[in-house]
Amino acid sequence: MTIRQLPDTLINQIAAGEVVERPASVVKELVENALDAGARRIDIDLEDGGIRLIRIRDDGGGIDASELPLAVQRHATSKIASIDDLESVATLGFRGEALPSVASVSRFRLTSRRSGSEHGALLQVDGGKVGEVTPHAHPPGTTVEVRDLFYNVPARRKFLRAERTELSHIEEWLRTLALARPDVELRVAHNGKPSRRWKGEAQLQEGTMLSDVRLHEALGEDFTRNALRVDHDGAGMRLHGWIAQPAYNRASSDQQYLYVNGRSVRDRNVSHAIRQAYADVLFHGRHPAYVLFLELDPRGVDVNVHPAKHEVRFRESRLVHDFVYRTLHQALAETRAGATAMPMQ
Ligand code: ADP
Ligand code: MG
C-alpha cells in the first residue's frame, strides 16, 4: 500500500462533495459571498435550473485583481484570521472553501473590480485548473459564473434532478436568504426571462416597512394576515420576527424559517422549544409557521459544526430553549386572551 498526497484539484472535488450538493447550494454560497461583500443589489441569472448556468453579479466591495488567484484557493479567506475571529464571526462565510470547491466541479469565471480601482479583472478555472488573471471590464463589484455544474464528476451529475426541481430548490434558498436581508434587492432570471424580483430599499413606498414587504413577498397574504410580530429581549438574547397564529398551520414544516445571528439554520433544540410553545394550541400532526431571528453573543454559539453551515451548537442550549419557549408561549397566550376578549367588547 502506498500513501500519496492527493492533488489540490482532487482535494477540492472531495470538499465539494460536502459543500456543493446541487445548483441551489452554489447559489447559496455565492449569494452569501455577495452579502458578505456588502452588496446592495444582487442579480441572479440561471439556465436550466442552474445546471447549465448560474451567474451572480453583485455591487459589493469586489476583489483586487492581485487576489483573484487566492480567492479560488482552498482555506483562503478575508473573513477570519485567528481562532478568536472564528469565535465571534459575523460573516456568513469563513471557511474559504466555497469558491475552490465550486470551481473544481464546473467551468468557472470570477470577474471583479474592487471599489476604488480603475479596472476589473477575470480569472477562469476549468474543472479546478486555474488560468491566468486577465484584464476585464466590470463595474465595481463581482460576477461569478458557474457553467455545467458537475460536468467532470459524472457520479454527482447523475443525481441532479429535472430543471424544475433544481429551480425550486434554488428559489427556496433565495426565499430563505431574502427573508433575512430585506435591505438587499434581488433579481432573478431563468432562461433569459425575469422570474422574480425582491424589491430593495430603493423601490420602497413611503410608510411601508421593508421587512413587512419582504415577508409578504416571501410567504404570501395568508401567512402575513395571520402573523404575530414577536420582539423580545431576555437572558442576553433577542428573539424577533413573526409567528403564525395557530389557526394558520401547515401539514408540513415547509414554512419554518429560523435564523441564528442572521444565518439560516436547522436546530432541533430550538424547533423543539417552538413546538412546545404551540403544543396546546395546535392540532396533533399540524406544524406551526414562523420566521424567527434569534440574536445572541456570537461566543455563545458555534457556527463551525458542518461545512455547509446548516447547523450550530449553542453553549447554553437549555437557556436558549427556555427563552424561545417562554417568549412564544407568552405571545400565543396573549393572542388567545385577545381573541376571547373581543366578542365581549
Ligand atoms: P469564504 O466566504 O468562507 O471566505 P469563499 O471561498 O466563499 O470563502 O470565498 C473566498 C474569498 O473570496 C472570500 O473570503 C472573499 O474575500 C472573496 N470573495 C468571494 N466572493 C466574493 C464577492 N462576491 N465579493 C467580494 N469578495 C468575494
Ligand atoms: Mg463564502
**Closest-CA residue to 256 (of 286, 295, 211, 236):** 286
- Note the pLDDT of residue 201: 75
In this prediction, residues 146-167 reach a mean pLDDT of 96
- Note the pLDDT of residue 337: 74
Question: Same domain for 138 and 273?
Answer: no
Instruction: Give the Å distance between the CA of 63 and the centre of ligand 1.
Output: 8
- Note the pLDDT of residue 339: 62
The residue ranking higher by pLDDT, 201 or 151, is 151
Q: What order of strands is seen across the sheet that includes strand 41-47?
A: 129-135, 121-126, 107-113, 141-147, 53-58, 41-47, 185-190, 193-198
In this prediction, residues 147-154 reach a mean pLDDT of 96
Instruction: Give the Å distance between the CA of 232 and the centre of ligand 1.
Output: 34
Question: Same domain for 231 and 271?
Answer: yes
Enclosing domain of residue 68: 8-203
Which residues have a Cβ under 8 Å from the Cβ of 322 and sit 6 or more positions away?
A: 235, 273
212, part of any domain: no
Does residue 141's CB lie within 6 angstroms of at least one atom of ligand 1?
A: no
Question: Same domain for 179 and 250?
Answer: no
Does residue 37's CB lie within 6 angstroms of at least one atom of ligand 1?
A: yes
As a whole-number percent, the residues of the chain with pLDDT over 90 amount to 89
Q: pLDDT-derived band of residue 205, with 50, 70 and 90 as boundaries?
A: confident
Q: pLDDT-derived band of residue 343, with 50, 70 and 90 as boundaries?
A: very low
Question: Same domain for 31 and 180?
Answer: yes
Question: Same domain for 88 and 233?
Answer: no
Alpha-carbon Rg of the chain, whole angstroms? Answer: 22
- Note the pLDDT of residue 220: 95
Compute the distance between CA of residue 101 and CA of residue 12 in angstroms, rounded to an integer.
Answer: 5
Query: For 68-110, how does the pLDDT look when each residue is reduced to its tens digit (9 = 90+)?
Result: 999 999 999 999 999 999 999 999 999 999 999 999 999 999 9
2, part of any domain: no
Pick the ligand that lies closest to the CA of residue 31: 1
- Note the pLDDT of residue 183: 92
Question: Same domain for 153 and 234?
Answer: no
Residue 150 per-residue DSSP state: T
Question: Same domain for 176 and 61?
Answer: yes
Identify the CATH number of the domain in which residue 335 sits: 3.30.230.10
Question: Same domain for 113 and 183?
Answer: yes
Cell of 154: 459524472
Going by CA atoms, what residue is nearest to atom 2 of ligand 1? 93
Instruction: Give the Å distance between the CA of 298 and the centre of ligand 2.
Output: 18
Identify the CATH number of the domain in which residue 190 sits: 3.30.565.10
Query: For 49-74, how does the pLDDT look when each residue is reduced to its tens digit (9 = 90+)?
Result: 999 999 999 999 999 999 999 999 99
Question: CA neighbours within 13 Å on the CB side: how many for 230?
Answer: 32
Pick the ligand that lies closest to the CA of residue 74: 1
231, part of any domain: yes
Does residue 120's CB lie within 6 angstroms of at least one atom of ligand 1?
A: no
3-state SS class at 271: helix
Number of domains forming the structure of the chain: 2
318, part of any domain: yes
Instruction: Give the Å distance between the CA of 261 and the centre of ligand 2.
Output: 16
Question: Same domain for 106 and 165?
Answer: yes
Identify the helix (H) or strand (E) that includes residue 12: helix 8-19
How many Cβ atoms are within 10 Å of 69's Cβ, its own excluded? 16
Compute the distance between CA of residue 241 and CA of residue 260 in angstroms, rounded to an integer.
Answer: 12
328, part of any domain: yes
Q: pLDDT-derived band of residue 336, with 50, 70 and 90 as boundaries?
A: confident
Instruction: Give the Å distance between the CA of 28 and the centre of ligand 2.
Output: 9
Does residue 94's CB lie within 6 angstroms of at least one atom of ligand 1?
A: yes
Q: pLDDT-derived band of residue 344, with 50, 70 and 90 as boundaries?
A: very low
Query: For 3-21, how does the pLDDT look when each residue is reduced to its tens digit (9 = 90+)?
Result: 999 999 999 999 998 899 9
Query: For 31-43, how does the pLDDT look when each residue is reduced to its tens digit (9 = 90+)?
Result: 999 999 999 999 9
Strands (DSSP E) found in 191-255 = 193-198, 227-234, 237-244
Does residue 176's CB lie within 6 angstroms of at least one atom of ligand 1?
A: no
The yes/no answer to whether this complex scores an ipTM above 0.90 is yes
